[in-house]
Structure 1
Amino acid sequence: MRKKVLIITYYWPPAGGPGVQRWLKFVKYLPDFKAEPIVFVPENPNYPIIDKSLETEVASDLKVIKFPISEPYKFASWFSKEKSSTISKGIISENKRQSMVEKLMLFVRGNFFIPDARVGWVKPSTKFLLKYILENNIKTVITTGPPHSVHLIGLHLRRKLGIKWLADFRDPWTTIGYHKQLKLTKASQKKHKNLEKQVLSNADQIIVTSTVTKKEFQGITGQPIEVITNGYDDEVSEKVEMDSKFTLSHIGSLLSKRNPDILWGILSKLIADIDGFKDDFQLNLVGFVSENVLQSLNNYNLSNYVNKVGYVSHKESVTYQKKSQLLLLIEIDSEDTKCIIPGKLFEYMVSNRPIVAVGPKGSDVERILKETNTGNYFNYTESDSLKKTILEHYKAYKNNTLKSHPIGLQKYHRKALTQSLSQLL
């Protein structure tokens, strides 16, 4: 007999972006491990990104409960539709570029909606689920955030019903980069910290996506913490033809702070110094790109080499990964981003294309790339070695020998990761 597991999440198809992928895949494979997932999601969410192609991955027999949500972003759009949309995506301008409207919206978002703008969903959802859980004899609940307000639903259910509760953190809470940009008062900062500690101290099991986050949370709670990373799945796609140009492709958002001048400078120099490079080179940017990044590319005279694709469906992004000569992974150079392992990393690793990553020294991404032999990782001071590696890849491209040689990827398959999850249930 399968064990019923209630999964409470904000992001669910037709939501696009990386936030939806993790639990869409866990839910897909949980029935293979004697679990019956039941998914609880908002009925009328204000998703910043839509990808209807993901709806085809939801099993027809899966029980999905939808419950209404009221979100302030809908009202905020009356003042500035553009700023409301970008803030809801986590895209925040640099302080010196912020308008008064954006500053006000950030202050209100950070201090009046704690822990986040979906907090209004907590009380009505808890009231509904208290009855539903009892009527359906559910013993285990999983919450996944961000948004971390979802964890508050789990906290209330745990206290009132004594059910087993697993709290899954796809990102940290109070140490994530954008948290520091919310113009929080000291009282608001204290409230965030208090809520974070309550969740971490009351969940029966905490799940995180990186070892760095695990170490951080171990300083707050003595509850058991398990690392279950994101991963890759078997993607059904037509055979793709490799790009004829020497394409470097970045899949996903390139925000203002994720702007690697070190890389742009190297590419500009290679165009000037290496025969044939300027005729072969193309930079594919697949996803949202900030104006700051585009301006930097222009400053390095790279604009004519940029193919700005914009946001595409998940299926299309996989095609771009497989046909590109090189895949770029860029992270902000910060202590706070060492724990960030982009979901796309694992799809990159099974695309059979070499990865070039730039980020903070000592990150989890660096460890995974070395462990799987899927690419090279550089911090922001390693200009010479980064240039050397790109040039080596270019020579391999010219000799038609450019490819990756991965090892030990199977443990990152979504089914293997779901098996690890099932053992915690």
Structure 2
Amino acid sequence: MLKGKVIILGITGGIAAYKGAALCSKLTQKGAEVHVIMTASAKEFITELTLQSLSRNPVYSDTFDEREPSVVSHIHLADKADLVLVAPATANIIGKMANGLADDMLSTTLLATTAPVMVAPAMNVHMYTHPAVMQNMETLVSRGVMMIEPGEGLLACGYVGKGRLEEPETIVQTVERFFEQQEQESKGVTNKPEPRWFGGEAVDSGRQSQDSLLNGDERLLSGKKVIVTAGGTIERIDPVRYITNDSSGKMGFAIAKVAQELGADVHLIAANTSAEPPVGISIEKVQSADDMYSAVLRQWEESDLVVMAAAVADYRPREAAQTKIKKKDSTFTLELVKNIDILESLGRSKKHQFLIGFAAETGNLETYAMDKLERKNCDLLAANDVTADGAGFGVDTNAVQIYDRGGMVERIPVQSKEEVARKLLTIAAGRMGGVLH
């Protein structure tokens, strides 16, 4: 979808400028012709040489540094662009765009272009929600500029909140969807309004508040049946005692909630949990690993995507006592036997299903994750170090590394579990062919 497209990539001066290198690389790998324009502040964070090497094109930063006598550079770039993408976009460049200011190479090019413009804001949470910034963004949206909603999580300034630049892979997928919609409209396939915001609930008007960002037709899992497992299984020792683990169910619940928001028909299977379940999703409660396996199998054939976020016990007591075991001796021996490996069993039997596994580790994350992905035939595996701050059981945040058979797909730093779920499901939807047609 991006092959041969001319994309002007504007990189402005925030700490997220380093992600501009990954974004430039991914766009180029997709076949786009990328021309980078940097602001002077951006060059404090990343060098022109890096972006020149990745784009294989000269990098522009000075309006008066004319390379070819036959053209005026900012007009030439503005005219040839199929899309101008500003990522990261600081509050400063957003303010310039909204007010028609043109005092550097990037703002001058933006004012001169007639190509579609897409902006990915990145800044401190208080800056992002400042009334002036919100008004500037609403002004741009009303003029047809497309916005990519930033993520939520730990920011470079130390705050936790909205303002993190969306991950490069997600931005690339958004760009691809835009060109796909554009191509379909040119063929008369659809007459739906072009989305202006990406990342929130769908609305018709471009002049919307920050709390109702336009998502247009971005229901990535529309029509898909999704199974999500959550919580820790319980393996009974006797009627009053059992073996379990520290899983709260929060990650699985977040995945189920986001999957539903993305249009999926969600079947949530939950074992022992301490978190509040998502509203509006029916839950099938189970206890043991065997119970969970049976519940999954009942939905398996009709499912499109299965996310095994539950912490399933590896072992169970060989025999569960029917009455309470009384204390007798100074020691007590409990014989355990292996439970069925649900993920491995599903991996062996999958046909059309897309399978995502989870790996909660305490070290050697990549080694164990890749081994588990291969052995259990997963399409994606999300691994996290449960000893890391903000990434363990029972907390509202997580930090994961997503793997496929080629290695790490994406590293997601500490942020809310819903944001982690959204990024994971966005990657899965793209690979399933679930991106909107």
TM-score range, shorter chain: 0.3 to 0.5
Structure ranking higher on relative contact order (CA contacts 8 Å, 6+ apart) = 1
Larger CA Rg, structure 1 vs 2: 2
Specify which structure has the higher proportion of strand.
2
TM value normalised by structure 1:
0.34
* Larger helix fraction of residues: 1
Question: TM-score, length-normalised on structure 2?
Answer: 0.33
